[in-house]
Amino acid sequence: MRPILMKGHERPLTFLKYNRDGDLLFSCAKDHTPTVWFADNGERLGTYRGHNGAVWCCDVSRDSTRLLTGSADQTAKLWDVQSGTQLFTFNFDSPARAVDFSVGDKLAVITTDPFMGLTSAIHVKRIAADPDDQVGDSVLVLKGPLGRINRAVWGPLNKTIISAGEDAVIRIWDTETGKLLQENEKEFGHKKTITSLAKSTDCSHFLTGSLDKSAKLWDSRSLSLIKTYVTERPVNAVAMSPLLNHVVLGGGQDASAVTTTDHRAGKFEAKFYDKILQEEIGGVKGHFGPINALAFNPDGKSFSSGGEDGYVRLHHFDSEYFKIPSI
């Protein structure tokens, strides 16, 4: 399995996202310029210029026409995927961290960081079918969690919003009323900052990764813990195969300590685990720094990783991968 190395960013990667068809890969980095690539051969298709800060997160609409990005420049921007033009800018009073389109693309959730006395918040925005009708008003603003909210995603049928972040608590909110419906039980939860969250294809369960060197699989409705995957490095990114019962975890030591160690000692490979047995089944090496972003192609036949080293590595699985015995 030879990776395709994609060098288009000058700074560390922060997020990777495939479109629903699996033919485009969107990458975000700390260099202000989200980029889109062909997902089969790693060719760069174009960039989205306009942000003035690190871009933390992105999401693409179901029909691959709109891109939504959240940035440290205190804005979230809506882009035309094909032309790269800015359609709308949502302005905030603090950096925008996580973004996620609802099923149907009529709504989007955007989280903002704590900043200058402001607490973190989750904003729900209405996304207009015609960009000319777009307005910046929030339909709903949720507050309460302490510290940064690193991820907020829509739950099943857009009825809930699932959020997680620095306070290591996963919360489920009602999207109609804005009420907090439930929090995960402390004894089963993560002990340190939750860095990442990935939903299953059918939205029935989701995976969280944390600096406490573990990833956990949760039920989307009951918030009960299903599985725990233990590793020996902080987890910065998680992804779930849509095809096989595999989860992949990426991470490594803190970025500030990277230059003092050999790249083998930093544990920068992407680790594959059996989703059910919770056992490690393999690893993919290559990055010269912690892995900050992971994404599976919707067809389950390839995955990509983005590192602190500024590279995106695109891996198409060999046929042997699909023969790994599973239950």
Per-residue pLDDT, 205: 97
Interior angle at CA 268, CA 267 and CA 269, nearest 5: 100
Does the pLDDT value for residue 1 go beyond 90? no
Tokens at 314, concatenated: 């695109």
- How buried is residue 210: exposed, middle or buried, by Cβ count under 10 Å (0-12/13-18/19+)? buried
pLDDT, residue 257, reads 65
DSSP per residue, 220-273: TTT--EEEEEE-SS-EEEEEE-SSSSEEEEEE-S-GGGGGGS-TTTTT-SEEEE
71, burial (CB in 10 Å: exposed 0-12, middle 13-18, buried 19+):
buried
Q: Tell me the domains of the chain and their CATH numbers.
A: 3-323 (2.130.10.10)
Q: What share of the chain has pLDDT > 70, as a percent?
A: 95
Task: Say if residue 265's pLDDT is above 60.
Answer: no
Q: What is the pLDDT of residue 63?
A: 96
pTM over 0.85: yes
Q: What pLDDT sits at residue 325?
A: 78
- Interval 101-148: pLDDT, tens: 999 999 999 999 999 999 999 999 999 999 999 999 999 999 988 899
The mean of the pLDDT values for the chain is: 94
pLDDT one-digit tens code per residue, 158-192: 999 999 999 999 999 999 999 999 999 999 999 99
How large is the average pLDDT for residues 239-258? 86
Query: CA–CA distance from 4 to each of 130, 270, 286 (Å)?
Result: 37, 15, 11
Question: What mean pLDDT comes out for the span 197-214?
Answer: 97
How far is Cα 190 from Cα 187, in angstroms, rounded to an integer? 8
Region 232-243: mean pLDDT is 96
Q: pLDDT tens digit string along 22-52?
A: 999 999 999 999 999 999 999 999 999 999 9
**pLDDT tens-digit readout, 267-307:** 689 999 999 999 999 999 989 999 999 999 999 999 999 99
